[in-house]
């Protein structure tokens, strides 16, 4: 199969998913509103201790963004499964893995990217030091697509299961723990004035590996789920 038809098919699928997401803008706003509410309530819950807020600000923003992503992760393939387009995608002559990669990219653009855009605002609400802001943004740019790729594999495994949100969260939790550890480690080092590139490098390596393997695993899991 030539490269041009595959590239056009991937671009068309990405454009379709972005248009559908724009028509349902309320679903895009829900994770953003959740993150804003959580970050706004934290200072009220912990009190006006500035040193405490600065110490936990990075971890709170990371955790809030990742939890907000979970709100929309369950619906990654739900619409396509309900209208039958997912089966058509599996049966299409195009390779399934890169097509699913485009769907994961569209999901990240419509779910995680708005959260990354408002992350500086969330950090400022919690008085995160300005010196740690580059580490926070870079950690989010690497951690959020990694979570989307890992979550997509689990969503594909539970595609035929009704009310799979709780099951998905339980399966994704152990996979999110290493991501949180490296991202939080980079932020803690940045706040203390220490070198923070090593945890970021580990996140980048994990993301590069997931970009290659996750769409293939997602395609295999989706075929298993649809055949079951």
Quote the pLDDT of residue 228.
55
Q: Whole-model pTM above 0.85?
A: yes
Instruction: Give me the chain's average pLDDT, please.
Output: 85
pLDDT at 24 over 70: yes
Quote the pLDDT of residue 2.
44
Lowest-pLDDT range, 48-57, 94-103, 152-161? 152-161
Confidence band of 162 (pLDDT split at 50, 70, 90): low
159: containing domain: 3-227
Query: Which carries the bigger pLDDT value, residue 224 or residue 219?
Result: 219
pLDDT in tens, 25-38: 777 888 899 999 98
Confidence band of 210 (pLDDT split at 50, 70, 90): very high
Confidence band of 144 (pLDDT split at 50, 70, 90): very high
Q: In the chain, how many domains are there?
A: 1
Number of residues in the chain: 228
CA quadruple 204, 221, 110, 11: dihedral sign:
positive
pLDDT at 111 over 70: yes
Lowest-pLDDT range, 1-5, 77-81, 90-94, 150-154? 1-5
Nearest to 10 by CA among 111, 113, 100: 100
Quote the pLDDT of residue 200.
94
pLDDT in tens, 52-81: 888 888 889 999 998 888 888 877 877 777
Query: Which carries the bigger pLDDT value, residue 161 or residue 148?
Result: 148
Confidence band of 1 (pLDDT split at 50, 70, 90): very low
The Cα–Cα gap between 43 and 51 comes to: 12
Give Cβ neighbours of residue 149 (< 8 Å, ≥ 6 apart).
104, 207, 210, 211, 214, 215
């Amino acid at each position: 199969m030539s490269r041009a038809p595959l590239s056009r098919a991937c671009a068309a699928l990405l454009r379709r998913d972005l248009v559908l997401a724009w028509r349902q803008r309320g679903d895009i706003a829900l994770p953003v509103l959740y993150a804003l509410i959580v970050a706004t309530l934290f200072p009220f819950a912990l009190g006006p201790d500035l040193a405490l807020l600065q110490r936990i600000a990075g971890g709170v923003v990371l955790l809030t963004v990742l939890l907000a992503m979970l709100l929309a992760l369950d619906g990654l393939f739900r619409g396509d499964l309900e209208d039958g387009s997912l089966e058509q995608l599996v049966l299409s002559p195009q390779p399934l893995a890169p097509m699913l990669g485009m769907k994961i990219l569209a999901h990240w653009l419509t779910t995680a990217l708005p959260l990354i855009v408002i992350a500086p605002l969330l950090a400022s609400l919690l008085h995160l030091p300005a010196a740690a802001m580059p580490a926070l943004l870079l950690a989010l740019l690497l951690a959020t697509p990694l979570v989307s790729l890992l979550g997509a594999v689990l969503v594909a495994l539970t595609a035929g299961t009704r009310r799979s949100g709780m099951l998905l969260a339980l399966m994704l939790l152990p996979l999110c723990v290493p991501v949180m550890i490296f991202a939080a480690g980079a932020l803690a080092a940045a706040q203390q004035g220490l070198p923070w590139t090593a945890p970021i490098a580990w996140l980048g390596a994990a993301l590069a590996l997931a970009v290659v393997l996750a769409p293939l695993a997602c395609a295999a899991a989706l075929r298993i789920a649809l055949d079951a």
